[in-house]
Amino acid sequence: MKVEKGVPMPDKIPSKYPFKNMEVGDSFYAEGMKTSQLSNASAYWAKKKGYKFEARAEGSGTRVWRTE
């Protein structure tokens, strides 16, 4: 086996949402998802990376914005 240095460890909890790739001002829409579900999912990234998100109901789903 080969020992390698500098290989980053993947995130512990894979996300089906694009929180990791979002920049301030970006948003995404999740059809059929409740605001509370996405608020809970975004809390992980907010804590881990210091990001801030806002989630609002929109139509039959929820839109999430990265605010900071």
pLDDT at 53 over 90: yes
> What is the C-alpha to C-alpha distance for residues 32 and 15, in angstroms, rounded to an integer?
17
Predicted TM-score of the model (pTM): 0.75
Over range 37-46, report the average pLDDT: 87
Which residue do the tokens 């809390």 mark? 43
Give the mean pLDDT of the chain: 88
Residue 26 pLDDT: 95
Residue 47 pLDDT: 86
> What is the C-alpha to C-alpha distance for residues 57 and 51, in angstroms, rounded to an integer?
20
Confidence band of 13 (pLDDT split at 50, 70, 90): low
Q: How far is Cα of residue 12 from the mean position of the Cα atoms in its chain?
A: 13
